[in-house]
Amino acid sequence: MRNERNVTRATITFGLRTFGAAPLPVHVDLEYDTLDPYAVATTYHTGAGSVRWMFGRDLLADGLLAPTGEGDVRVSPAADLSMVVFELEAPDGAAVLEAPAHELAAFLDSTYDLVLAGQETSWFDFDHEMEKLAFNY
């Protein structure tokens, strides 16, 4: 495990798809932290507050090229290939958003500058993750 901690962030304006109207802008903060090298955290800022989602970095990378994901988060290229579609589902509801593919790709590139694809295990602190689980029980 490596001890250096690095974080990269980006803010991207997504569009919340609505019926019969243009997408509504939603500012989304993306964050990648080498302490959790497999995940990307996203915070969606809405009029009612903020909602945070975490999902695999691979899910985001794969979703730029082809439909991927099951369950709560699905990512796929849009019909307009300059956009990527995010489908989010939670017990309280669902949302479909779109984001510019080139901005997502630039964010992903910054994550790979920190941790190369396939090198996540050298950054992952298994003992630290087990300690976090112990505090939850």
- Token pair 């790709």: residue: 105
Q: What is the reported pTM?
A: 0.85
Amino acid code (one letter) for 55: F
CA angle 86, 90, 94 (to 5 degrees): 50
Band (pLDDT 50/70/90 cuts) for residue 5 is confident
The structural domains of the chain, with segments of one domain joined by +, span: 7-135
CATH class of 7-135: mainly beta
Question: What are the pLDDT digits (tens) for 26-78?
Answer: 999 999 999 889 999 999 998 888 999 999 999 999 999 999 998 899 999 99
Q: How many CB atoms lie within 10 A of CB 110?
A: 14
6 in Cβ contact with 114 (< 8 Å):
yes
Residue with tokens 């109207």: 21
